[in-house]
Amino acid sequence: MSNPLYDIISKAHEKNWCVTPYCTTCGAQEYRNALRELSGSMGGGLADALADIDLQEISLLPNWKDALLVAIMDLPISQQVEDVLNAWLPKISDHIALADLLLYKIVRYMIKDNATRNNWIERCIDIAINSKNFSLIESLLLVLKRDAWDYPKLIAVAKEYANSSAQMERALRNSYKLRVMASS
Inform me whether the pLDDT recorded for 184 exceeds 60: no
Task: Report if residue 82 sits inside a domain.
Answer: yes
pLDDT bucket at 2, cuts 50 / 70 / 90: confident
Task: Report if residue 170 sits inside a domain.
Answer: no
| 141 CB-contact burial (10 Å; exposed 0-12 / middle 13-18 / buried 19+) | buried
Task: Report if residue 153 sits inside a domain.
Answer: no
* Domain assignment of residue 12, given as a range: 4-132
- Helices 152-162 and 115-131: crossing angle in degrees, nearest 10, is 50
Inform me whether the pLDDT recorded for 67 exceeds 90: yes
Task: Report if residue 74 sits inside a domain.
Answer: yes
Task: Report if residue 43 sits inside a domain.
Answer: yes
pLDDT bucket at 176, cuts 50 / 70 / 90: confident
Q: Across the chain, what does the average pLDDT equal?
A: 94
Number of domains in the chain: 1
77: DSSP letter: S
| 9 CB-contact burial (10 Å; exposed 0-12 / middle 13-18 / buried 19+) | buried
Task: Report if residue 174 sits inside a domain.
Answer: no
Task: Report if residue 50 sits inside a domain.
Answer: yes
Distance CA 81, CA 167 (A): 31
Task: Report if residue 139 sits inside a domain.
Answer: no
